[in-house]
């Protein structure tokens, strides 16, 4: 993971790294079954990570916690959709979409909870 | 070239005509080779967009919406109506988009602009219909409230679709090779947005539960 994606909060940076690694696995030579396993793992781990973030929001009194949690729900709903519609699973499309989403989410949305003006 | 001309001159008239025709046709083929390749390369769409879940699961989605049960019949009906009207607007304008014949030769930039326009039309249309259905006061409260209303809550999802389409197509356009492919991805996002709208309802409901009870009590002709 490039330095620009690091927030300076160790536990969250480690979890982001793990999510990046899971998304990268989509580009490996895997069959359909393997793809389903990765998507499932990605969903499970993302839920765990979002829980960590949401607990962190409570600790720091993050002003934008509700809006941020909504973005987490959108992500999970999207992963769910592609898991449930495994016949549509195209790893290239999914890779392009997830890569873009996670990078933008960290750079724009996650950065917000590192800024003092967003903490009560 | 000179040898070919000399050779042609020695041939009988009928053969001369045949040879000249071959050369002319050959040159024409060479000049218009790109257009010819395009015509023959044109494949039948591999994805039947009308078979997308957004359309085929109409009954299922409507059933899910009608299953929404809140603490009063009026509240349940209020949010059911909201979602039903939203779904119908999405479905209608998604069909208009996939039936647009101009999409075949459209540039990426124009395609994105068309999608954004389509999404704006959907939002405008369901808002218009809900304003009529709910009446001014209830509409302003449930849909347009600047902090708690459905539109501001659901805005996150609308923004998500816009940026997902924009960035995914722009960042890795090789992934989506055909217009059907792109449209299929868009329909996926519309379907996901519909499911998210159902959970957004919970947020809106919790946002002003008490206020809604009062409003609906006074609202005799809401539905």
Quick: pLDDT tens for B26-58: 888 888 877 777 666 655 557 889 999 999 999
Does residue B125 register a pLDDT over 80? yes
Does residue B174 register a pLDDT over 70? no
- Compute the distance between CA of residue A67 and CA of residue B147 in angstroms, rounded to an integer: 11
Q: Of A67, A85, A104, which is closest to B163 when you measure between CB atoms?
A: A104
Give the burial string for A52-75 (b: 16+ CB within 10 Å, else e). ebeeebeeeebbbbeebebbbbbb
Question: With bands split at pLDDT 50, 70 and 90, how would you rate the model's confidence at A36?
Answer: confident
Among A88, A96, A101, pick the best mutation site for testing chain B contact (most B Cβ within 10 A): A96
- ipTM strictly over 0.85? no
Q: Of A81, A92, A99, which is closest to B192 when you measure between CB atoms?
A: A81
Q: Of A70, A71, A93, which is closest to B185 when you measure between CB atoms?
A: A93
Does residue B186 register a pLDDT over 60? yes
CB contact under 8 A, A100 and B185: no
From the DSSP assignment, how many helices (H) and strands (E) are in chain A?
A: 5, 0
Q: What is the pLDDT of residue A9?
A: 95
Distance from CA of A6 to the nearest CA of B (A): 21
Handedness of CA B22, B24, B30, B33 (dihedral sign): negative
Between B87 and B107, the more confident residue is B87
Does residue B171 register a pLDDT over 80? no
Chain A residues lying within 8 Å of B54, measured CB to CB: none
CB contact under 8 A, B185 and A70: no
Query: Which residues are A119's β-sheet partners?
Result: A62
Does residue B114 register a pLDDT over 80? yes
CB contact under 8 A, A74 and B167: no
Give the burial string for A7-21 (b: 16+ CB within 10 Å, else e). eebeebeebbebbbe
Assign residue B135 a region (left: φ > 0; alpha: ψ between -120 and 50; beta: otherwise). Answer: left
Distance from CA of A108 to the nearest CA of B (A): 13
Q: What is the pLDDT of residue B16?
A: 80
Domains along chain A with CATH numbers = 3-118 (1.20.120.50)
Q: What is the pLDDT of residue B101?
A: 84
Tokens coding A67: 């809006």
Residue in A with minimal Cα distance to B190: A78
Question: With bands split at pLDDT 50, 70 and 90, how would you rate the model's confidence at B197?
Answer: very high
How many C-beta atoms lie closer than 10 Å to residue B202's C-beta? 13
Q: What is the pLDDT of residue B41?
A: 60
């Amino acid at each position: 993971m490039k330095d620009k994606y690091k927030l300076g909060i160790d536990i969250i940076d480690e979890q982001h790294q793990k999510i990046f690694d899971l998304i990268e696995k989509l580009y490996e030579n895997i069959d359909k079954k393997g793809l389903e396993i990765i998507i499932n793992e990605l969903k499970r781990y993302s839920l765990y990570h979002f829980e960590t973030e949401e607990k962190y929001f409570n600790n720091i009194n993050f002003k934008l916690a509700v809006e941020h949690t909504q973005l987490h729900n959108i992500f999970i709903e999207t992963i769910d959709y592609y898991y449930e519609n495994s016949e549509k699973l195209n790893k290239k499309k999914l890779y392009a979409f997830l890569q873009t989403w996670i990078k933008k989410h960290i750079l724009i949305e996650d950065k917000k909870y590192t800024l003092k003006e967003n903490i009560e | 070239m000179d040898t070919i001309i000399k050779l042609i001159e020695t041939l009988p008239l009928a053969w001369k005509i045949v040879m000249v025709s071959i050369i002319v046709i050959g040159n024409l083929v060479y000049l218009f080779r790109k257009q010819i390749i395009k015509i023959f390369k044109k494949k039948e769409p591999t994805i039947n967009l009308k078979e997308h879940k957004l359309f085929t699961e109409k009954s299922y989605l409507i059933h899910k919406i009608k299953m929404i049960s809140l603490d009063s019949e009026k509240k349940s009906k209020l949010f059911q109506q909201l979602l039903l009207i939203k779904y119908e607007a999405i479905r209608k304008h998604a069909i208009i988009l996939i039936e647009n014949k101009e999409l075949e030769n459209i540039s990426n930039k124009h395609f994105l602009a068309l999608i954004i326009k389509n999404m704006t039309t959907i939002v405008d249309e369901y808002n218009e219909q809900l304003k009529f259905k709910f009446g001014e006061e209830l509409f302003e409260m449930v849909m347009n409230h600047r902090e708690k209303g459905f539109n501001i809550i659901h805005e996150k999802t609308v923004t998500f679709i816009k940026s997902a389409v924009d960035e995914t197509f722009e960042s890795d356009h090789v992934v989506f090779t055909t217009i059907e492919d792109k449209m299929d991805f868009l329909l996926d996002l519309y379907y996901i947005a519909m499911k998210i709208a159902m959970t957004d309802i919970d947020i809106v409901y919790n946002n002003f539960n008490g206020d809604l009870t009062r409003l609906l009590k006074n609202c005799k002709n809401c539905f």
